[in-house]
Amino acid sequence: MTAVRVPDLGEYWGTDAGLRAAKDLLGVLALSGYPGVGVVAEPVHVDAERLRDCGARLARCFAAIRSVAAAVFEDKDELYRFCSDEERFHVALRRLSTLPKAHSHPMRWDVVPCSGGFKAVEVNYGWSLGGINFAALNRCYDEHLGGRLSPAYTDPMAALLSALRRVEAEEGKQRWVLCDEDHYFSTYRSFIDNLTAILSAAGFSIRALPLSAWREIDHASERVIEVFTGLELTDDDSLDKYIATASSSGKRPFTSPYEVFWSSKAMFALAWRGIEERVVDEPTARLLSEMLPRTYVLRRELRARAIEERADWVLKPAFGLGGKDVTIGPLVENAAWLAALDAALQSERRFVLQRYEAPLTFPLHILRPGSPPEGGEHPIVLGLFQLDGAYSGAMARAGRCRNGNINVHTGAGIGIVRETVQ
């Protein structure tokens, strides 16, 4: 795919200069809240026009999915049940749906460069991974490699700063509170601290609190940045406090945890339902089939087909984090595939079958703390950020991972994207 390439840096990463660059890059990523995670050494260069076109096409896909949902479901409860089997999740969504419309709607699509072009394999609502200090990473590359790279870099964090400034332009200077679900707040505290530091350096009045400390917020004078989307991990008491205050404050949420249900991978199955049941017109069906792999909600009647066509499918939980419980059919033996299928069919959680899109591989290196650079052919996944439907930057992940799922939790490195003009 000529739209994506990596620069040939030769033996640079084995030189003294390369080792100094690697140390600095890993240091920036660690300060961003990802100590121990690798860096994709070579900045991934992507054609700027193709990136923006992909973003625009995915925005149209998302609008089409919403239209299909409105057409095929009688009410929101039916949509919630399609997204997830968990009743507690449905209850939380019903309650959150009563809140005012949010100011901002951030999303990240995971896009695979494959032989057929770009294919989006999942979408995540919220600021997930947007808090990485991409600007600092890019400055580090420029300091060490200068003119060997395209100068045009993307910074997904800029979209968050822009959204916050828009609120302050409309409503005056705010005192912001960055609020995350307790599990994520403790597990990713360095990430939260880094995000708080970036916002403070940009001139915002900001502090961070876990969701359970909601009572400590002065809601008359402070404004919450909702970054929690782990509703399955959010205790009822915290959710009660959030909904009660958000309903009575008279302020629109900055972002809304209600929107998390659009992150369900069942939405890809909904898109294909729209195609197969002719809910969408021909141009929209063509767009959806070009951008989204065929996906089905896992049902027992699909078991025989999934076994017979193992090499064609990926099994995923509708909601999941870090590649957990993802099984890639062509990368496992029959016994492991059968065991994963049957466990998913017996699970209380929703699972989907998604057509496997083999990512293209590129010659690059993964830098890891205390290890020599890992050179070779590595598959790449792009993270394409959108704010309110508009393209707002990109990142890359790459690496030969434990289960084939290219995720930082399974061994992938995080990389930057530089835009090019063909």
Dihedral angle, C-alpha 84, 262, 79, 272, nearest 10 °: -100
Confirm if 403 and 328 have CB atoms less than 8 A apart: yes
Q: What is the C-alpha to C-alpha distance for residues 142 and 377, in angstroms, rounded to an integer?
A: 24
Q: What is the C-alpha to C-alpha distance for residues 14 and 335, in angstroms, rounded to an integer?
A: 42
Please provide the DSSP assignment of 298-320 as one string: --GGGHHHHHHTGGGEEEEESS-
pLDDT attached to residue 32: 80
pLDDT attached to residue 277: 96
In the block, residue with structure tokens 């990109």? 394
- If pLDDT is split at 50, 70 and 90, which confidence band does 256 have? confident
Q: Kindly state the tokens that stand for 12.
A: 């640079």
pLDDT attached to residue 247: 81
pLDDT attached to residue 249: 77
pTM of the complete model beyond 0.75 = yes
pLDDT attached to residue 1: 56
User: 175-180 and 205-210 as β-strands: parallel, antiparallel, unpaired?
Assistant: parallel
Tens-place pLDDT, residues 386-417: 999 899 999 999 987 666 778 777 788 999 99
Q: Within 10 A of 117 (CB to CB), how many other CB atoms are there?
A: 15
Tens-place pLDDT, residues 323-376: 788 999 999 999 999 999 999 999 989 999 999 999 999 999 999 988 889 899
CATH class of 294-356: alpha beta
Amino acid at 73: F
Burial (CB < 10 A; 0-12, 13-18, 19+), residue 87, is: exposed
Q: Of 37-46, 71-80, 239-248, give the lowest mean pLDDT range.
A: 239-248
In the block, residue with structure tokens 């994506």? 4
Tens-place pLDDT, residues 46-92: 999 999 999 999 999 999 999 999 999 999 999 999 998 888 888 88
Tens-place pLDDT, residues 80-135: 999 988 888 888 889 889 888 888 889 999 999 998 899 999 998 876 555 688 88
Q: Kindly state the tokens that stand for 53.
A: 């076109």
Q: In this structure, what DSSP letter does residue 309 have?
A: T
pLDDT > 70: percent of the chain: 96
pLDDT attached to residue 406: 81
- If pLDDT is split at 50, 70 and 90, which confidence band does 300 have? very high
Q: What residues does each domain of the chain span? A: 4-264+359-420, 294-356
Q: Within 10 A of 177 (CB to CB), how many other CB atoms are there?
A: 22
Question: Is the pLDDT reported for residue 273 higher than 90?
Answer: yes
What interhelical angle do 134-145 and 157-171 show, nearest 10?
A: 130
